[in-house]
Structure 1
Amino acid sequence: MLAIVRGKVPAADLRTVRPLAEEGIAAIEVSLTTADALTVIRQARAGLGPDALLGAGTVRSATDAARAVDAGASYLVTPALVDGLETYGIPVLMGALTPTEIETALARGADAIKLFPGILGGPGYLRALRDPFPEVPFVPVGGVGAQAARDYLDRGAVAVGVGSPLVGDAADGGDLDRLCARAAMFRKVAAGETP
């Protein structure tokens, strides 16, 4: 499970990160479209410690990557094909949708493919991609709710990226108790349990 935090209020974004980690969401991405995202990443890194899987999302250039790594990101997530990210020595989930884009992302050093937007093809599309790309780690993102998350994982995804169905309004100052309840439910779904 990869939680995607994207909001308009830096303090709310930051207060969203810790409950996700405490609820067992192993990987958390702070989108660079988040207000003051680099400060959020920096402060979240300080709060979660050096070993937490805290990444930067919506990385669209090598400059974005350099700033995110400097802020403490331990992995990078792109929405599309981006050059020059392999030099940072951390994992890159590169956005791709078509077989040609997948091949290009792998040639550019992607460690995993962010299948984006996942909602376009759904779990059936991932199943079709597994035949020509059996060794590629796929992380579907975009339109992934609880049932789709389970379906993607059942069809060979190594993880799923979930934004608003998981985070809800927490990143904009919403209810943290509801965030924790959603996180617990998604964690059970990811583990194959009935929520």
Structure 2
Amino acid sequence: MIGQDVAFSKVTVILRRVPLEAARVIALQMTKSRIRSMEVSLVTGDALDIIRTLNDEFGDALSIGAGTVRTAEDARGAIGAGSSFLLSPVGFSQEIIDVAKEAGVISVPSGFSPTEIATMFDMGADIVKVFPASRLGPAYLKDLAAPLGPLPLMVVGGINAQNVQDYFDAGASYAGIGSGCFKPEDIASLNGAGIARSLAELEKKVRW
């Protein structure tokens, strides 16, 4: 129902073109944190294999889903690989939302304007991703809530440890933060300790 948050992690780490071995190190460290949701973007060449592998290894502790889902074929492939949620930088067709509902996975299409956001909810989306959120700023969420009431919105795009709580304070229910929250050298060298430190710093910035 619109206005009620669904069972979804408050913070999702978004991986785009991150190789499997690095994704595995990140996932392992996430199991020791309060950040328990990972999106693997389908722009990653072997995204479905990565999603499948991460679900096999960490699915009991983490929610692993697919990003940049744009077609019903994308949705079915991601669900077949074990995705528990589907995100996109654009709106979903009714077919994609129906595919998600039939499979029991969470649908998170994007919207930018009030009309786009409301349309996605009217079509049955569980959460709507406000993207790119940083172009609008936290106050935009308050502007939306004034006429539409509280909505299960996820902010993505320019969200980081420094500003994420500002968006939660303004009414966001969820946030997606890219792999830029980690030091590139930690990802490249598979430095689990460094990745754990970055996750801990992010956790400190969020009021859970």
Query: Which secondary structure state, in structure 2, belongs to the residue aligned with residue 122 of structure 1?
Result: coil
Distance in 1 separating the partners of 2:189 and 2:131: 27
- 1:48 aligned residue (58, 66, 69): 58
Distance in 2 separating the partners of 1:29 and 1:173: 21
Residues 141 and 79 of structure 1, relative CA distance in 2, 3 Å threshold: same
| Contact 1:96-1:113 within 8 A present in 2 as well | yes
Map of 1:85 onto structure 2: 96
> What TM-score do you get using the length of structure 1 for normalisation?
0.90
Deviation sequence 1:104-123 (CA, Å, 0-9, x none): 21122211110000111011
Residues 121 and 90 of structure 1, relative CA distance in 2, 3 Å threshold: same
Q: Which amino acid aligns with 1:67?
A: G
Identical columns (%): 33
Distance in 2 separating the partners of 1:91 and 1:18: 23
Q: Please show how residues 18-167 of structure 1 align to structure 2 within 5 Å.
A: 18-50=28-60, 52-83=62-93, 84-86=95-97, 87-88=99-100, 89-167=104-182
Aligned-residue CA RMSD (Å): 1.8
Displacement of 1:168 after TM fit?
Answer: 4.1
Distance in 2 separating the partners of 1:162 and 1:81: 19
> What TM-score do you get using the length of structure 2 for normalisation?
0.84
| Contact 2:31-2:61 within 8 A present in 1 as well | no
Distance in 2 separating the partners of 1:62 and 1:50: 26
Task: After superposing the two structures, state which structure 1 stretch, 161-170 or 75-84, moved more.
Answer: 161-170
Could you tell me which runs of 5 or more consecutive residues in structure 1 were left unpaired when the two chains were aligned: none
Could you tell me which runs of 5 or more consecutive residues in structure 2 were left unpaired when the two chains were aligned: 1-10
Residues 102 and 171 of structure 1, relative CA distance in 2, 3 Å threshold: farther
Task: After superposing the two structures, state which structure 1 stretch, 138-147 or 174-183, moved more.
Answer: 174-183
